[in-house]
Amino acid sequence: MNAVPKIIAITGASSGIGEASARLLAQSGATVFLGARRVERLERIVADIRAAGGNAYAAALDVTSRESMNAFIAQAVQRAGRIDVLVNNAGIMLLGPLDETGPDEWDRMVDVNIKGVLHGIGAVLPVMRAQGRGHVVNIASIAGHRVRAGATVYCPTKHAVRALSEGFRQEAGPFLRSTLISPGVVQTELPEHITHAQWASDSKTAYEIAIGADVIARAIAYAIEQPEEVDVNEIVIRPTAQSS
Ligand SMILES: NC(=O)c1ccc[n+]([C@@H]2O[C@H](COP(=O)([O-])OP(=O)(O)OC[C@H]3O[C@@H](n4cnc5c(N)ncnc54)[C@H](OP(=O)(O)O)[C@@H]3O)[C@@H](O)[C@H]2O)c1
């Protein structure tokens, strides 16, 4: 971590990659603000971090609501005086063919994976502009690099995150940093929310080669730890055994 401990907000920090990142970044000296809907889980993680001597705070967050995101960032800024990094991590992956999933699941993915990221950027951009510095880390996926059947909505949501990160980078100017992390299969709760029976079962097989969430947390930390004049724009990270 850089000499001045960073103030970092993480969305979707109640499990998986968000939780692992919160734990690792706090260990490295950052003050972390954890947001998600399952507040009791956030509070357990915050208690662990504090017991280990770290600085962490939990807040209820629904990334699909602009008001909720604005409130999440505002309370972090009020408490810490600034925000150095936003990790736009919250996401859902509801796999299955279009005609067997349906518009409710498509909407949920668009709302969390795309609008959630936009809400995060919208909340921190004025703060970071006023500070004259800041860093947005977006979590996309290998699914943001290719399209496959059964992920016909999930893939475009992650392509959108990739495009958003690059657009943000170009508009950000010389003092704001933009990082996109595109993981392959990672051992988390992500596939547990798939409602389509066949795809839920196929995912279990696909996830047999998954790498740990701590691996992605280290990639996030790497991008954050670079000197301010260094902007790590994209990291693609997958299990060695993952062919596509
Ligand atoms: N695991 C993988 O193989 C993999 C691969 C590539 C990319 N990713 C991406 O990595 C990111 C993290 O996922 P994960 O793998 O760590 O899965 P996870 O364990 O299921 O974590 C997802 C997180 O998102 C949060 N979330 C979902 N909907 C939310 C909402 N409306 N508002 C706020 N938070 C919300 C969940 O918290 P609550 O339910 O408590 O709100 C949870 O903390 C996602 O963007 C995912 O697409 C994962």
Question: For residue 7, what are the β-bridge partners?
Answer: 31
pLDDT tens digit string along 56-83?
Answer: 999 999 999 999 999 999 999 999 999 9
Model confidence at 26, pLDDT cuts 50, 70, 90, reads: very high
Does residue 23 carry a pLDDT above 60? Answer: yes
- Ligand 1 binding pocket includes 38 (Cβ within 6 Å): yes
Mean pLDDT of 151-156: 98
- Residue 68's pLDDT is 98
CB of 61 closer than 6 A to ligand 1?
Answer: yes
58 lines ligand 1 (CB under 6 A): no
User: Which pTM does this prediction carry?
Assistant: 0.98
- The CATH homologous superfamily for domain 7-237 is NAD(P)-binding Rossmann-like Domain (3.40.50.720)
CA of 94 to the centre of ligand 1 (A): 11
β-sheet with 234-237: strand ranges across? 55-60, 31-36, 7-11, 85-88, 134-139, 176-183, 234-237
- Closest-lying ligand 1 atom to the alpha carbon of residue 37: 41
Beta pairing class for 55-60 and 31-36? parallel
Is pLDDT above 60 for 2?
A: no
Nearest CA to ligand 1 atom 41: 37
Q: Is 90 in the pocket of ligand 1 (CB under 6 A)?
A: yes
* Percent of the chain surpassing pLDDT 70: 99
CB 158 within 8 A of CB 140: yes
Domain boundaries, the chain: 7-237
**Residue with the nearest Cα to atom 31 of ligand 1?**
62
| Closest C-alpha to ligand 1, atom 14 | 16
pLDDT of 3 > 60? The answer is no
Q: How confident is the model at residue 219 (pLDDT cuts 50, 70, 90)?
A: very high
Distance 190 CA to ligand 1 centre (A): 6
Does ligand 1 come within 6 angstroms of the Cβ of 189?
yes
Establish whether residue 69 lines the binding site of ligand 1, counting it when its CB lies within 6 angstroms of any ligand atom. Answer: no
Pick the range with the lowest mean pLDDT from 1-10, 43-52, 96-105, 190-199: 1-10
Q: What is the pLDDT of residue 97?
A: 97
- Give the atom of ligand 1 at the shortest distance from the alpha carbon of 18: 16
At residue 67, φ and ψ (nearest 5 deg) are: -65, -45
Q: What is the mean pLDDT of residues 177-190?
A: 98
pLDDT score recorded for residue 235: 98
* Protein residue closest via CA to atom 42 of ligand 1: 12
**Cβ(186) to ligand 1 under 6 A?**
yes
Return the SS3 of 196. Answer: coil
Q: Is 222 a catalytic residue?
A: no
Q: Which of 14, 135, 120 is nearest to 69 (CA)?
A: 120
CA angle in degrees (0–180, nearest 5) for 104-147-168:
80
H-state helical runs in the chain: 16-27, 39-51, 66-80, 98-101, 103-109, 116-131, 154-172, 197-206, 213-225
Q: Across the chain, what does the average pLDDT equal?
A: 97
How many angstroms separate the Cα of 100 from the Cα of each of 24, 118, 182?
39, 28, 27
Confidence of residue 244 (pLDDT cuts 50, 70, 90): confident
Tell whether the model's pLDDT for residue 1 goes beyond 60: no
What is the whole-number distance in angstroms between the Cα of residue 174 and the centre of ligand 1? 30
Are 202 and 185 in contact by the 8 Å Cβ rule? The answer is no
